[in-house]
Structure formats: C-alpha cells, structure tokens
C-alpha cells in the first residue's frame, strides 16, 4: 500500500502536544533503506532551536541490545560460553545462594535477583529529584554498591523467573572488557558503531560536546511544566549509549540483514536469531499478546501474528524506542526529551499502520480512548451531588469535594468496551463494581447507590 506519512505525523503531533513533549525524532526503515525520517519540536526550547534526525539523545536501555550483541560476538569467537558462570570473569563480591548465575541468566534478566534500583537512584539523585545520594561514575562503582548484601536479596533460582536487572548488564559490560582487553565503550565503538557507520553515537560527555547538536535534557514536573535539567552521565553497559535516529536506523538494518550491514558481517545469523528467541516470559499479561525477553531485546510474539523485536529506554530526561519486524523487513527508531508518553506505544501504533492494519484497534489505544472519554464531572439527580472522574495512567480516579473535605477513590478497569466499561474498587474491604454506560451525547455511571450522568 502507499504509505500516508501525514497520518503518522498527525498522530505524533497529537501526542507531543497533548503530553507536552519538547522534541521527538523518528526514522522508519524498510529492509536496507530509510523510508521516512523527521524531527518534531525543539531540542532547545529556550532558544527555539528545532530538533532534526541528527540530534543526539540518550537511548537508555536500548543500550542493552548493544551489550548483548557484543557478548554474542565473543561467543561466536569462542572466547566465552553462554553457560559460563559470571564469576569466571568478574569478582562480583557476593555469593550465589540459590544456584550458579551464568552469562545467559544476565542476558535474559533471569538471575533470580530482583532489581536493586541502582540506576533509578543514580539518575534521580544526580538530577536532584530525590534525597537519596548515590554517586556512580563507573561499573566498579556499581559493583561496590551491590556488595555482599546481594546474597540476601537473591529471591529465586537462576532461570526460574524474570526480574529486570540493570546491574546484570553492568556486569556483562565488565565481562566484555575483561575478555576483549578493551574498555566496554571502546569495544562497542570499534566492533559495532564503526562497522555500522554510527558516527554520531557515543558514551562520554566530552564526545557529546565535540559532536554538538544535542537535545537539552528536560523533566516534566508534577504540574506539567517543562523544566530544564541535566544528563546523568555515568550509566554504562545497561543504558549509557547516546545516538541519533539515523545511526539507529543502520543498527536496525543490520538486524533485518540477519547480522550483515554494508557487505560486512557483524554477527552470524544463528546468533542474531538466538538474540530474538523467546528465552523467558515477562510478567505482563495482555488480552491480545504475549511478552518475552531474548538477549537484550524484548519480544512480542503475536503482534498482528508477527514477531516484534523491541526495546525501550529512559533516563528520565531522554527516552527511546527501537522496534523491528524481521518477517516484514520493517523497523522504527524514536527518540525524545523527556520521558513522558511511552514511545513503545507510539512505535507500535505506527508499525501497526505500516503493516496495513488499523492501529486504533490496538488494545492500549482502545483503552486510552475509552478512559479519556470517561473523564469529566458526573452529577446525581438535580445535581444534588457531583463526582469528578480523571484518568491516571491505566486507572480512573473518582474525587468528591466539599469546601473542607476531599475523598478520592481508585477505579480499576475490568472490562472496557466502546459502549460499556466496568471497573471495581474496594469499600470497607468489599469489592464494589462501578459501571459506565457510554452513548453518543452522555455517559451514565452507576456507583454504589448512585446513578450519575456526564453530559457532552
């Protein structure tokens, strides 16, 4: 079909306006070429400098796929084995209390260690958003932060359960350095970035300053204000890469080319497919899809009956999404500042459209549309009482106010249809259903003993 990129642009403009995103850049790849790229908004609001496809953004956890690719290169060369204990290469400083943790376990976030939240604490403390102070500058600092106390934090046997673990990918970066004899950043530059001609991708502050065209880091505060911030340099193999959508397009082309780019092979096809294999199920349940994790990539097994390989990334002030569908030779990269509307949802919406599907039928789009439709002020008979309904993430918040009091109730969705929506809340420990009946000109709400109506 002929692709109407105006449709894509209208969708993006709607979201960046609604969620106050300062800037966003996108690139769409089909097989070995970029078929669309554009920037929206300002990389620097104060000086009204527009963004463009060569603007630098931190890609956050999209970095994990680069780390996994590097590990698989070393496996292909016979320098390490996926079933090797991580202690063979790194003195992690803690004992394994539930079983041997291997490279495979760290790649798949199945070490049995629940998240230690070093990255969350470091990013938020370095941006001045929390009182907790965690000065991290290197992977050695992360290992010092972990220490022997991790022994008591191990929750399950390795391979048994998915726990997303940033610290695990920091350890993988240490393994890459130990085995290759190079600092992690230099290995990634020499073995991945240079062969892919990702000439505007880097890790260090001084490299960013030299390259220029940098998206100013911003935070959206609790009142919706866009606040200038700073970038948390210091995150490494788990989320430290800085790149552009044009560079990431080359990265996607390599995966679509089954490990080859520009006539060069970065990784054999069998290892690319091993990265894309559903190694462990993620703990997210959706009515229309299944989520898994491979090696450095998340996997949606049944995205319009196709396999979608994807990863998001966020360091709060910058956010990223990369996704591709091998069977269709289709991929997308999106970067923005700051972290606001999930770019993964935006990417899936656009990919659905590019597949010739109606993305409005996607479950998350339908949920967002219905929840938004339910927002407003509801009143009882002759307006004797009112309840305000507001969307908050995947929930609704019901609020009753007087001049002196305010009572809020969280409504959890059970069933969402275009004509009827069922939620539940708790009342004195009892489960209470709340029902919305949706018509063209009004919405009725049945809440406990009351019937309330929102007009318009």
Task: pLDDT band for 3, please (50, 70, 90 cuts).
Answer: confident
Question: Residue 209 has what pLDDT?
Answer: 96
Whether residue 354 is predicted with pLDDT greater than 90 in this model: the reply is yes
| Region 253-279 average pLDDT | 97
**68: part of which helix (H) or strand (E)?**
helix 63-76
User: What's 160-210 look like in SS3?
Assistant: CCCCCCHHHHHHHHHHHHHHHCCCHHHHHHHHHHCCCCCCCCECCHHHHHH
Determine contact, residues 178/90, Cβ cutoff 8 Å. Answer: yes
Q: What average pLDDT does this structure show over 175-201?
A: 98
For the beta carbon of residue 401, count every other beta carbon within 10 angstroms.
Answer: 12
Percent residues over pLDDT 90 in the chain: 85
Average pLDDT of the segment spanning 301-320: 96
pLDDT at 127 over 80: yes
Distance CA 157, CA 159 (A): 6
Exposure string (b/e) for 108-139, b if CB count within 10 Å is 16 or more?
bbbbbbeebebbebbbbbbbeeeeeebebeeb
In b/e form, how buried is each residue of 203-234, taking b as 16+ CB within 10 angstroms? beeeebeebeebbbbbbbeeeeebeebebbbb
pLDDT of res. 130: 84
pLDDT-above-70 percentage for the chain: 99
H or E element in which residue 119 lies: helix 118-126
pLDDT over threshold 70, residue 1: no
**pLDDT of 108 strictly over 90:** yes
pLDDT digits (tens, 9 = 90+) for 434-456: 999 999 899 999 999 999 999 86
How many Å apart are CA 300 and CA 313, to the nearest integer?
A: 16
Pairwise pLDDT comparison (338 vs 38), residue with the higher score: 38
Report the DSSP pairing between strands 298-303 and 290-293.
Answer: antiparallel
Q: Give yes or no for residue 57 having a pLDDT over 60.
A: yes
Provide the pLDDT confidence category of residue 347 given band limits of 50, 70 and 90.
very high
Residue 2 confidence class, pLDDT cut points 50, 70, 90: low
DSSP E strand stretches across 13-131: 23-30, 33-44, 49-50, 57-58
* Mean pLDDT of the chain, nearest integer: 94
The mean per-residue pLDDT over the stretch 108-132 comes to 91
Q: Which domains does the chain have, with CATH numbers?
A: 5-361 (3.40.710.10), 370-455 (2.40.128.210)
Q: Kindly state the average pLDDT of the residues 111-128.
A: 92
- The per-residue pLDDT for 163 is 97
The conformational region for residue 406 under phi > 0 = left, psi -120 to 50 = alpha, else beta, is: beta
Give the pLDDT of residue 133.
85
**Three-state SS for 360?**
helix
Q: What is the mean pLDDT of residues 12-34?
A: 95
The CA-based angle 90-95-97, given to 5 degrees, is: 135
Instruction: State pLDDT tens for residues 396-437.
Output: 999 999 889 999 999 999 999 999 999 999 988 899 999 999
The C-alpha atoms of residue 293 and residue 382 are separated, in whole angstroms, by 54
H runs (alpha helix) in 299-378: 343-354, 363-374
Helices (H), 260-406: 269-275, 343-354, 363-374
- Whole-structure pTM value: 0.93
- Residue 114 pLDDT greater than 80, yes or no: yes
Residues facing 445 on adjacent strands: 436, 452
Could you report the per-residue pLDDT of 279-290, keeping only the tens digit for each? 999 998 887 789
C-alpha span between 258 and 267 (Å, rounded): 8
Q: Residues 109-131: what's their mean pLDDT?
A: 91
Kindly tell me the burial class for residue 161, based on how many C-beta atoms sit within 10 Å of its own C-beta (0-12, 13-18, 19 or more): middle
**What's the confidence (pLDDT) of residue 235?**
86
Sign of the CA dihedral running 348, 353, 359, 362: negative
CB 291 within 8 A of CB 304: no
């Amino acid at each position: 079909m002929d692709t109407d990129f105006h449709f894509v642009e209208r969708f993006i403009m709607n979201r960046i306006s609604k969620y106050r995103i300062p800037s966003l850049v996108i690139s769409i790849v089909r097989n070995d070429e970029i078929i669309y790229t554009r920037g929206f908004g300002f990389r620097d609001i104060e000086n009204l400098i527009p963004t463009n496809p060569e603007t630098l953004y931190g890609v956050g956890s999209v970095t994990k796929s680069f780390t996994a690719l590097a590990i698989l290169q070393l496996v292909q060369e016979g320098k390490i084995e996926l079933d090797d204990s991580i202690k063979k290469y790194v003195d992690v400083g803690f004992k394994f209390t539930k079983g041997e943790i291997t490279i495979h376990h760290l790649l798949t976030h199945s070490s049995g260690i629940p998240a230690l939240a070093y990255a969350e604490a470091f990013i938020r403390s370095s941006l001045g958003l929390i009182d907790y102070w965690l000065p991290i500058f290197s992977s050695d600092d992360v290992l010092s932060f972990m220490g022997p106390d991790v022994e008591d934090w191990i929750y399950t046997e390795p391979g048994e359960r998915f726990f997303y673990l940033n610290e695990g990918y920091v350890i993988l970066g240490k393994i890459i350095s130990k085995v290759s004899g190079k600092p992690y950043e230099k290995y990634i530059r020499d073995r991945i970035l240079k062969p892919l001609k990702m000439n505007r991708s880097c890790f260090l502050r001084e490299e960013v300053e030299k390259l220029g065209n940098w998206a100013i880091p911003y935070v959206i505060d609790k009142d919706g204000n866009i606040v200038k911030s700073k970038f948390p340099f210091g995150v490494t193999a788990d989320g430290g890469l800085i790149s552009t959508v044009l560079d990431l397009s080359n990265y996607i082309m390599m995966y679509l080319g089954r490990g080859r780019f520009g006539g060069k092979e970065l990784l054999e096809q069998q290892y690319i497919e091993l990265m894309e294999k559903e190694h462990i199920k993620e703990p997210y349940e959706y009515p229309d899809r299944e989520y898994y994790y491979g090696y450095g990539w998340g996997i949606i097994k049944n995205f319009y009956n196709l396999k979608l390989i994807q990863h998001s990334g966020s360091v709060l002030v910058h956010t990223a999404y990369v996704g591709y569908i091998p069977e269709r030779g289709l991929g997308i990269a999106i970067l923005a500042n700051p972290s606001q509307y999930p770019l993964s949802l935006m990417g899936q919406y656009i990919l659905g459209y590019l597949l010739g599907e109606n993305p409005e039928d996607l479950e998350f789009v339908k949920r967002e549309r219905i929840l938004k439709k339910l927002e407003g002020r509801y009143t009882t008979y002759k307006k004797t009482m009112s309840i305000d309904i507001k969307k908050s993430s995947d929930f609704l918040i019901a609020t009753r106010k007087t001049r002196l009091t305010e009572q809020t109730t969280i409504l959890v969705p059970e069933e969402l249809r275009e004509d009827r929506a069922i939620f539940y809340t708790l009342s004195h420990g009892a489960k209470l259903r709340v029902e919305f009946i949706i018509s063209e000109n009004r919405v009725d709400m049945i809440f406990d003993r009351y019937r309330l109506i929102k007009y318009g």
